[in-house]
Structure 1
Amino acid sequence: MDKFTRKTSFEQWFSPLNLILMEELVKTHQLNYYTKKLYMASFMKLLLYAQLHETESLRALSDAVFSDDLQRATGVESISFSQLGRRINTIPTDFFQTIFLDLVAQIHQKTDFQKRRKITTPLKIIDSSTLPLNLTNHKWAEFRKTKSGVKLHLRLVFMEKGLSYPDQAVLTNAIEHDKLQLEVLMDDKECLYVFDRGYLDYERFDRMTDDGYFFVTRLRKNAVIRVLETFSLPEDSNVLSDEMVVIGSTQSRSENVFRLLKLLDTKGNELSLLTNRFDLSADEIAEIYKSRWAIELFFKWMKQHLNIKKFYGHSEQAVHNQVYIAMIVYCLNVLAQLNTNSDRSYLQISRYLKAALWKSAHIWLRKIQGKSVP
């Protein structure tokens, strides 16, 4: 990013958005046809602003347009909440999903993802989080008798120092089982995947192993196993046991052999880890599984600091669109950090941005770079 620019901090922050790609998507989906006022470029800026300020409703966003600064940024002098509602309910989710994936590609490039994968095996974490919805307004989102919900199935690229970022997502009704999305989220044989017990499927583990995919997961305590060989451990190892096993009962036993490790978590509870990697040490496998908490932290951050607690629309499209907008905001914060080589957290970057939203961009940039503002 340039140290000095005439852009506002808000404009500088969303500048990674690919305007050419957006224009192509607008033409493909005919999103500006019959539009007199709320063009997609303006609507996108309004949605980003709403996420930054955790605006709870479209009515509140409509009132926010009273701001002269927001009017200048969006080119919209006034807009009704009903117009905003029609827009978010009718835009195909593919529009926001494509923008999200383009930002992910930029993050890959900034972090030299392709170069890193030649040096070491990239670590990708898979998990899901349920976003509860009101049953009365979202009957399409099947979950339980008393509530509705959608489930965000996510794949997170793990990096050190809290720099992890999402690179693939699937949205389903909350009633859908996690393991149904596992093969969708595993598409790169040069990565190592980490996931929890919700994805247990012995037949799928066999297929994944046969197809050349590597994983580390957690095994249930009541799993039926047969030990074929016990490996020795270093005296200073934190792992309790390291064994070669087959899993499952005689009626449905795995065809491949796997590696079973037992260790204690921070609370003293015993964990059983299953993997098809035999070339790493037991302690390395244990450390890899610990990285799974990065995705828990991501979900926690997303629910606390992004606006996905209250949804602007009742339709499936509107809910999915808002989730993707939230992830777009997260990716923009990641790129702000990468582009400035900042050691600020994403939360700090976002807070400084809100404080300097309409000020010259160089003020915000210097702040997140840790430099004094002249």
Structure 2
Amino acid sequence: MDKFTRKTSFEQWFSPINSSLFKELVKTHQLNRYTKKLYMASFVKLLLYAQLHETESLRALSDAVFSEELQRATGLESISFSQLGRRINSIPTVFFQTIFLDLVVQIHEKTHFQKRRKVTTPLKIVDSSTLPLPLANYPWATFRKTKSGVKLHLRLVFMEKGYSYPDKATLTNAIEHDRGQLEIFIDDQECLYVFDRGYLDYERFDRMTDDGYFFVSRLRKNAVVRVLETFSLPENSSVLSDEMVVIGTTQNRSENAFRLLKLVDTKGNELHLLTNRFDMSADEIAEIYKSRWAIELFFKWMKQHLNIKKFYGHSEQAVHNQVYLAMIVYCLNVLAQLNTNSNRSYIQITRYLKAFLWKSAHIWLRKIEGKSVP
């Protein structure tokens, strides 16, 4: 990052958003057509500001525009919450999705993703999280008799230095089962995929193995297995057993042989792990499965620190737009960390950003780099 810039910290923070791509998307989808006041550049800045400050409603965001600094940043002297509402409901989700994916590409480049494959097998963790919605306002997302909800299906890149970031996502109604979404996320033979038992599908595991994709998953304890071979374990292993098995009943049995590990987690529960990797030690496989905590932490962080608990619009498009915007904010924090080689956590980066939001960017940059602020 340029440490000697006239940009405000706010402008520096969102500067990784590709302005050429932004303008191209606005033009392609004609998002500024017939617009008299609330142009997309101003609107997206308002939404980013709202995410930073966890602004809970469009009415509150409308009131925030009375800030002179926010007026200068957006070019707006005032805006009604009804205009904001019409905007959030009208923007196609592909607009925010494309910006999110472009930021992911930048993170890939910063982390030298391709080169690090030689160091260790990159992990991609797949999981989902349900975002509850009140049934009365969101009837299109009916989940149960008394409530609605959407489900964020996500793939998280987990690497050896602890850089964790989402690189692919899809949104469905909460009623959709996880299992049907797995194929969307399996597209890289150089990675090892980690997912929980919600994605259990013997036929798909066979296809993944035949196509050269590797995975570690959790198997239900009552799953029918036939042991083909038992492997020996070192004396100090944390794994209870290591076997080659075929899974399923006679009518529905896997065509490939898999590896079944049994171990006890930190809470004393016995876990059964299934994988098609036979070239790694049992303890390495067990350690890899523990990396699933990263995606749980990601969902927890999003729900605690980003504004996806209350939604600005009631339409499916408005909800999806807000979720993608939250992931854009997360990616901007990752890039801020990478661009400064900072050891600060994302929450610290956000706190310092809010503290120096309208001040010169180099003050914020020095703070997150761990240098003294003059």
TM-score scaled by length of structure 1:
0.99
Q: Secondary structure at the match of 1:140?
A: helix
Q: Residues 262-291 of structure 1: CA distance to partner in whole angstroms, max 9, x if unpaired?
A: 000001111000000000000000000000
> Equivalent residue for 1:352?
352
Structure 1 segment 94-105 matched on structure 2, within 5 A: 94-105=94-105
Q: Give, as a single letter, the amino acid of the residue that structure 2 aligns with 1:345.
A: S
Query: Is 1:284 aligned with 2:284?
Result: yes
Cα distance in structure 2, aligned partners of 1:87 and 1:130 = 25
> Equivalent residue for 2:211?
211
Gap runs ≥5 in structure 2 = none
CA contact (8 A) 2:141 2:174 kept: yes
Displacement over 6 Å in runs of 4+: none
Query: Offset at 1:142?
Result: 2.4
> Equivalent residue for 1:220?
220
Cα distance in structure 1, aligned partners of 2:96 and 2:365 = 26
> Equivalent residue for 1:57?
57
Cα distance in structure 2, aligned partners of 1:180 and 1:253 = 20
Gap runs ≥5 in structure 1 = none
> Equivalent residue for 2:329?
329
Cα distance in structure 2, aligned partners of 1:117 and 1:314 = 43
Q: Give, as a single letter, the amino acid of the residue that structure 1 aligns with 2:65.
A: V
Q: Give, as a single letter, the amino acid of the residue that structure 1 aligns with 2:239.
A: V
Cα distance in structure 2, aligned partners of 1:225 and 1:175 = 30
Is the deviation greater in 46-55 or in 109-118?
109-118
Cα distance in structure 2, aligned partners of 1:162 and 1:319 = 30
Query: Offset at 1:120?
Result: 3.0
Query: Offset at 1:161?
Result: 4.7
> Equivalent residue for 1:34?
34
Cα distance in structure 2, aligned partners of 1:342 and 1:75 = 32
Query: Offset at 1:121?
Result: 1.9
Cα distance in structure 2, aligned partners of 1:336 and 1:120 = 25
Q: Give, as a single letter, the amino acid of the residue that structure 2 aligns with 1:209.
A: T
Cα distance in structure 2, aligned partners of 1:6 and 1:159 = 34
Q: Residues 101-148 of structure 1: CA distance to partner in whole angstroms, max 9, x if unpaired?
A: 000000000000111124432100000000000100100012111100
> Equivalent residue for 2:84?
84
> Equivalent residue for 1:149?
149
Cα distance in structure 2, aligned partners of 1:88 and 1:103 = 21
Query: Offset at 1:44?
Result: 0.6
CA contact (8 A) 2:216 2:274 kept: yes
Cα distance in structure 2, aligned partners of 1:213 and 1:273 = 17
Query: Offset at 1:190?
Result: 1.0
Aligned length: 374
> Equivalent residue for 1:250?
250
Structure 1 segment 1-12 matched on structure 2, within 5 A: 1-12=1-12
Cα distance in structure 1, aligned partners of 2:52 and 2:106 = 21
Structure 1 segment 1-374 matched on structure 2, within 5 A: 1-374=1-374
Cα distance in structure 1, aligned partners of 2:176 and 2:342 = 39
Q: Residues 56-109 of structure 1: CA distance to partner in whole angstroms, max 9, x if unpaired?
A: 000000000000000000111110000000000010000000000000000000
Cα distance in structure 2, aligned partners of 1:369 and 1:25 = 33
Query: Offset at 1:207?
Result: 0.8
Q: Secondary structure at the match of 1:113?
A: coil
Query: Offset at 1:222?
Result: 0.5
Query: Offset at 1:16?
Result: 0.3
Cα distance in structure 2, aligned partners of 1:115 and 1:38 = 43
Q: CA RMSD in A?
A: 0.7
Q: Residues 151-172 of structure 1: CA distance to partner in whole angstroms, max 9, x if unpaired?
A: 0000000024542000000000
Once the two structures are aligned, what percentage of the paired residues are identical?
A: 87
Q: Give, as a single letter, the amino acid of the residue that structure 1 aligns with 2:246.
A: V
TM-score scaled by length of structure 2:
0.99
Cα distance in structure 1, aligned partners of 2:73 and 2:342 = 26
